[in-house]
Chains A and B, each alone.
Chain A
């Protein structure tokens, strides 16, 4: 007896372990009821009639269509040929399961910023499950978090129905019936799930048929069946389903792990070369990238945007950042300037965005009083913006270099990277303006002071031997001039004492 007791692990550990496991879980389900259609339309800024088509050839039928298409008389289930007869302006997109799966993964990667556990629901309609119980502390309360997620999804170009419950299945069902009031306690689940129609449960066909024949119409009806009778007649499937939905048994979900490289594509239903339309579509992709990067606390230093054409090779735009970043607005501003100066060979049929190297983001440490770092970031933004349009070589800083030759004591450098130079060298009077190359003087002006002999540089072949003077002209300009000590001994003007 005593020995048996000794093998039982001490209580506190068990308690602690349990405490961790029973932390209140809360699931947010996002259901995308019009996924195929939104996939097709999300790259479009304006509302042209768009329809998703299912099937091939004469069997082709309209699977979904947007409001603009409904407005002109297109309806779901209509044969494609009939739809063409209604309007010739209809843009059609074939349903593509592969592209849809990739798009759902794109949203899942984006959603990683809100939750540490995002699970795919590749159902019809598709959706996502997010464990948000652990995110509440970080994002404030549930309402605020839900509102932000919904707004974010909308920015990406999708509309989602939400459901919130302590079990993933219950959250999913609530979302399906568009009941967005959150359920916090498992006890309340039975009542709230009662109106869910039988069809939404996604049971096996035979079970579904049998229940329907028994006059069962909803989740509530299923709950009223006796457990033993149901198990005997229908097998364990329904009971297991009910138990998972109501939280009586565990319902573990596989977390989606986003790939290390960001690659997303977006097809445009109608080809376009309008700058606004391209920017609109690019913004969708950049927002996805931003979410993806926040989720892994990363940043990118370089990203590539491709514009697909019908025949020509893709137009690639590479954006390099001085400081790795992920802010979609900033990236879009840079992209916009590049787009403006890019010549497109033909209209664009689709876009892709790729970021191969995800760097670890080094968020700026905030200062207590109006941050110095923030200011620095603003400084970098300006340089990036100017360089994006004018070119890297057009925006430079100045740097002093030690030496004696007037042309070699300074140079351009990358902004803000000056290396400090010892200030010890006392410069005799030097002009504020220097001419890029000395210009010959026709006649000798009136000298003020000098000469200062500068003779140096024999070791690199660009040696100079000059006598420098200051001089002034009749109209008041003071000049820095020199006479060559070799050859023709001509006079040159090299700068202005502006």
Chain B
């Protein structure tokens, strides 16, 4: 009697506490300490993840790189939308990332960046969509999250850590801080599990 109908369980908008979705829906972060704290042992796919960075350059890309390297094998686009600086090709190659699938999108304004992100998510032609934006409009964020839910992509929104106090529909929110050459990752919000303490990564 208390079992939910099968159709309801498969609904993407419904999540069950502690329940683990299939492994395919996650991509490992590449850091076992962080994986252990996340419900699917990795970044959720088909949902929005948010990285709140105090200042660019503290190690946020090193956190994203292992997952990108894995996703590159799918042979679909990995779209970087309005990155704050130029993704430096030699360093990406040294990290083992195949440049062939990288798409760098630069736009004139915020609205077009969000449009590009939605298009990339809807197209189904992307394994990863990374967006750097200062968007704080709740409706816009919700749209982004819905677009991510309808896709199989790994969607990451990088914002300034000032936004950590604003509510967000993202499934996973990580606060990143640099600490003496290490990266302190704080899980601010995590669907399907209880946010844990800060994790230090030797990235």
Q: Which residues of A contact B (CB under 8 A)?
A: 375, 378-379, 381-383, 385-386, 389-390, 394-400, 409-410, 412, 415-416, 418, 423, 427, 430-436, 472, 475-479, 495-498
Contacts and interface: CB of A to CB of B under 8 A. Distances in A.
B181 A427 contact: no
Nearest to B179: A476
Interface in B83-107: 83-95, 99-100, 102-107
Do most interface residues of chain A lie in helix, strand or loop, or is the interface mixed?
mixed
Interface stretch (B12-20, B40-48, B119-127): B119-127
21 contacts: A378-B123, A382-B120, A385-B123, A396-B103, A396-B104, A398-B99, A399-B89, A400-B89, A400-B93, A410-B88, A418-B100, A427-B93, A430-B88, A433-B83, A434-B87, A475-B58, A476-B55, A477-B57, A496-B56, A497-B57, A497-B62
Interface in B109-123: 112, 115-116, 119-120, 123
Contacts of B93: 400, 423, 427
B178 interface: yes
Given A375-B125, A390-B107, A398 B112 contact: no
Contact of B56 (A382, A395, A498): A498
A495 B83 CA distance: 13
B87 A389 contact: no
Given A382-B119, A431-B91, A495-B85, A476 B180 contact: yes
Contacts of A495: 85, 88
A427 B91 contact: yes
A93 B90 CA distance: 65
A397 B86 contact: no
B126 A430 contact: no
Contact of A398 (B92, B178, B180): B92
Contacts of B116: 386, 390
Contact of A498 (B59, B90, B107): B59
B62 A498 contact: yes
A412 B57 CA distance: 22
Nearest to B184: A476
Contacts of B126: 382
Given A415-B103, A498-B56, 11 more contacts: A381-B125, A386-B116, A395-B103, A410-B90, A412-B104, A432-B95, A436-B85, A476-B58, A477-B56, A478-B58, A478-B178
B123 A435 contact: no
Contact of A394 (B57, B100, B105): B105
A375 B61 CA distance: 28
8 residue pairs, one from A and one from B, having the closest CB atoms: A476-B178, A496-B57, A410-B89, A433-B85, A498-B61, A477-B57, A434-B88, A430-B91
Interface residues of B, number: 49
B60 interface: yes
B149 interface: no
B54 interface: yes
Contact of B105 (A386, A410, A472): A386
B181 A472 contact: yes
B92 to A, nearest CB: 7
Nearest to A383: B103
A475 B57 CA distance: 10
A412 B83 CA distance: 14
Contacts of A394: 105-107
A431 B88 contact: yes
Given A410-B89, A432-B92, A477-B58, A400 B125 contact: no
A433 B56 contact: yes
B59 A497 contact: yes
Which residue, A409, A418, A496, has most C-beta atoms of chain B within 10 A?
A496
B115 A389 contact: yes
B50 interface: no
Which residue, A395, A432, A478, A479, has most C-beta atoms of chain B within 10 A?
A432
A433 B56 CA distance: 9
Contact of B77 (A382, A423, A496): A382
B194 to A, nearest CB: 27
Contacts of B179: 476
Given A400-B90, A400-B93, A472-B181, A378 B124 contact: yes
Given A382-B119, A431-B91, A433-B56, A397 B125 contact: no
A378 B124 CA distance: 8
Contacts of A472: 181
A400 B56 CA distance: 23
Interface in B140-160: none
Contacts of B55: 475-477
B112 A389 contact: yes
B188 to A, nearest CB: 18
A389 B111 CA distance: 12
Contacts of A423: 93
B128 to A, nearest CB: 13
A412 B102 CA distance: 11
A431 B95 CA distance: 11
